[in-house]
Amino acid sequence: MTPEISVDPVRSMKRIMIVGGPGSGKSTLARLLGPRLGLPVFHMDQIHWQENWVERPMAEKLPMAQAVEEQDSWVFEGGMSVTYGNRMERADLLIWLDLPVGLRLWRVTKRLFRYLGKARPDLPQGCVERLHPETLTFYKFIWQSRHTARAKVAKLVAEARDELVVVHLRRPREVQVWLAGLS
């Protein structure tokens, strides 16, 4: 069942948090929502990664994420679950993209080949998509974390404060219908 939220409350929301597993469509949804609602878009992958797929140290990532969270308005998508609590405290709306793992693996594969040799728009410059040994590791991570990551977000949603609007989307069609309601 698609969550029903009228357009007016969503349009008045200034801070939107989007979470979900790899390949669930977080970045795409953020890129669509930001301009529609007049909100700046932030991707956690731009905080997590430095040029050439070098992972930024946690001591640098946390202040960068907090700087985004402290802004008056944002669509902030992505993982780094250690920041979920802070983001949720500031968010007006939490969107959980909870799509099936098979679909997510397919999307990650499509994305890899679509951007092969190029950087995706949600990544820092210099993070070029390529086939490398870590590609298989990433697929393994998606598969192995499918239950634990989902449980972590489910717990987060269950503990959300009453004022936080939560939209839980489980199928691509639900995402499309929900987005169409904002047009």
Provide the residue type at 4 as one letter.
E
Q: Which residue has the tokens 């949600």?
A: 122
Could you write out the DSSP letters of every residue in 6-36? -HHHHHH--EEEEEE-TTSSHHHHHHHHHHH
Q: Is the pLDDT of residue 148 over 60?
A: yes
Q: For 7-180, CATH number?
A: 3.40.50.300
Query: How does pLDDT run across 3-42, given as a tens digit for each residue?
Result: 555 445 666 789 999 999 999 999 999 999 999 999 999 9
Query: How does pLDDT run across 53-80, given as a tens digit for each residue?
Result: 999 999 999 999 999 999 999 999 999 9
